[in-house]
């Protein structure tokens, strides 16, 4: 495998110019919130183009978030929100922030969000528009609520016993252990003994084998930094998501296609293509990727799609604002960075910046497969969605007002919250929106609300 730095480009870059008949992708004109007092005021002209429709849909979503925040912060004695209301509103605002990040993305393509599909090109009354936006929100949020738990993990109710582990023979254990390659200078980091047990018991043998195999194809070097120490075989679609998708992940692909311009596929397999689901990354880059600090935008090679692919660095910051994806407001000194040692000259470190493009090429596509563009598209789409709720502004909206006050006592040992809450709490602390004590109160309130919502209140008692 050969990895080459191509250059720094805009996040809508393509290796060849698109046909003249195809409209160019452009970033939406920033929307001034002051010009949108409310969706129902009638002061905003009705949309006549798809772009105007999309911009007003953005403001409709923001209006819903503002309404939920106000109802969570209302301190009047007669209308003070209770713990369940605060928790319910936080859940709703989180989902709206996900949707907002998608709508603000210039590359998104939301199903049936167009003048032609909605109104036959005409729109006469604002209440019709608001009804249409409400319907579209319900539809898109429904898909998002299916997508997120598959990727981040959905907590099982405590009333359900965990599944029994699959029996493993001694021979299988020995083969799995032999397949985990660790450099002598890794000092136990990476696919080390700390992960051996999970690798043996939680992963398929072929998948674990691929992690070590694919690293050797790249000379055990990180694709991004070029480093040859502490390099891990990072999953593109991770083990948890693969397991949650089941044998046929085509349904997950179809859900994403409701939000993003993905090709129509009849079938899609991940478990039989383990080599294409691994990307060698140094441990720090792997951690950044898994925490959704950056995403890798896949770009199909126009001439040799089976042997060459482009990947573009997209630092995920402020995706809940116009232009967040365009500017990539990542503070490398404050938030950390990745250094490309291959481009370091005279001891001057070269940071990998927003928009940097790399090309991966194989000399033998049949034997040494490049990463799958479909797998990378799945991860890229999910990460942009998740990052929308982890921006500082989004976090301030989600956790507006005081944490919910619930019954006294310690938090329960088992959780019923989906895995995305862990990511959001971690981001809220990092951005200074919450402290550890506030996280504990929010988590406890959300836990208790979720238990009551699903009738699990007495499950641990």
Range in 27-41, 337-351, 377-391, 438-452 with the lowest mean pLDDT: 27-41
Mean predicted confidence (pLDDT) in 452-458:
73
- Which range of 101-115, 188-202, 247-261, 366-380 scores highest in mean pLDDT? It is 366-380
Contact 314, 376 (CB under 8 A): no
Burial 366-398 (b: 16+ CB within 10 A, else e): eebbbbbbbbbbbbbbbbbbbbbbbbbebbebb
Tell me: the pLDDT tens digits for 232-253? Answer: 999 999 888 988 888 778 999 9
Tell me: the pLDDT tens digits for 158-170? Answer: 444 434 434 334 3
Residue 174, pLDDT above cutoff 70: no
Q: Rounded to whole angstroms, how far apart are CA atoms 424 and 91?
A: 11
Mean predicted confidence (pLDDT) in 243-271:
88
Judged by phi (left if over 0) then psi (alpha if -120 to 50, else beta), residue 354 lies in beta
The per-residue pLDDT of the chain, averaged, comes to 80
User: pLDDT tier at 30 (50, 70, 90 boundaries)?
Assistant: very low
Residue 349, pLDDT above cutoff 90: no
Residue 188, pLDDT above cutoff 50: no
User: pLDDT tier at 413 (50, 70, 90 boundaries)?
Assistant: low
Contact 450, 417 (CB under 8 A): yes
Q: pTM for this structure?
A: 0.81
Query: Of residues 304 and 317, which shows the higher confidence score?
Result: 304
pLDDT at site 192: 39
Length of the chain counted residue by residue: 461
């Amino acid at each position: 495998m050969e990895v080459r730095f191509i250059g720094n480009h805009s996040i809508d870059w393509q290796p060849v110019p698109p046909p003249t008949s195809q409209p160019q992708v452009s970033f939406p004109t920033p929307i001034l919130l002051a010009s949108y007092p409310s969706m129902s005021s009638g002061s905003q002209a009705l949309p006549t183009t798809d772009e105007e429709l999309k911009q007003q849909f953005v403001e409709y979503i923001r209006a819903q978030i503002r309404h939920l925040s106000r109802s969570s912060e209302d301190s009047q004695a007669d209308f003070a929100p209770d713990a369940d209301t605060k928790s319910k509103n936080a859940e709703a605002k989180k989902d709206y922030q996900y949707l907002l990040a998608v709508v603000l993305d210039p590359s998104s393509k939301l199903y049936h969000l167009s003048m032609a599909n909605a109104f036959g090109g005409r729109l006469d009354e604002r209440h019709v528009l608001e009804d249409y936006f409400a319907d579209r929100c319900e539809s898109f949020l429904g898909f998002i609520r299916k997508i997120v738990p598959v990727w981040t993990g959905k907590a099982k109710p405590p009333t359900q016993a965990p599944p029994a582990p699959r029996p493993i023979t001694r021979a299988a254990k020995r083969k799995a252990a032999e397949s985990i390659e660790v450099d002598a200078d890794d000092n136990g980091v990476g696919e080390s003994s700390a992960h051996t047990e999970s690798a043996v018991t939680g992963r398929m043998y072929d998948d674990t084998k691929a992690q070590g195999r694919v690293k050797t194809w790249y000379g055990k070097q990180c694709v991004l930094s070029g480093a040859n120490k502490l390099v891990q075989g990072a999953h593109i679609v991770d083990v948890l998501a693969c397991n949650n998708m089941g044998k046929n992940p085509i349904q997950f692909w179809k859900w994403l296609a409701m939000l993003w311009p993905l090709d129509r596929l009849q079938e899609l397999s991940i478990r039989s293509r383990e080599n294409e689901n691994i990307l060698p990354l140094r441990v720090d880059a792997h951690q950044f990727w898994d925490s959704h600090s950056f995403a890798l935008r896949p770009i199909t090679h126009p001439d040799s799609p089976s042997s060459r692919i482009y990947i573009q660095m997209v630092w995920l910051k402020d995706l809940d604002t116009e232009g967040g994806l365009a500017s990539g407001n990542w503070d490398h000194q404050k938030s950390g960075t990745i250094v490309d040692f291959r481009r370091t000259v005279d001891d001057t470190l070269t940071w990998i910046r927003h928009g940097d493009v790399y090309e991966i090429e194989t000399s033998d596509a049949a034997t040494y497969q490049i990463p799958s563009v479909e797998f990378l598209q799945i991860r890229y789409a999910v990460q942009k969605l998740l990052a929308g709720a982890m921006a500082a502004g989004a976090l301030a909206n989600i956790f507006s007002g005081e944490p919910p006050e619930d019954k006294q006592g310690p938090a329960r040992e088992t959780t019923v919250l989906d895995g995305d809450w862990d990511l959001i709490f971690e981001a809220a602390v990092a951005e200074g929106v919450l402290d550890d004590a506030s996280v504990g109160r929010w988590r406890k309130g959300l836990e208790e609300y979720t238990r009551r919502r699903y009738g699990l209140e007495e499950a641990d008692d």
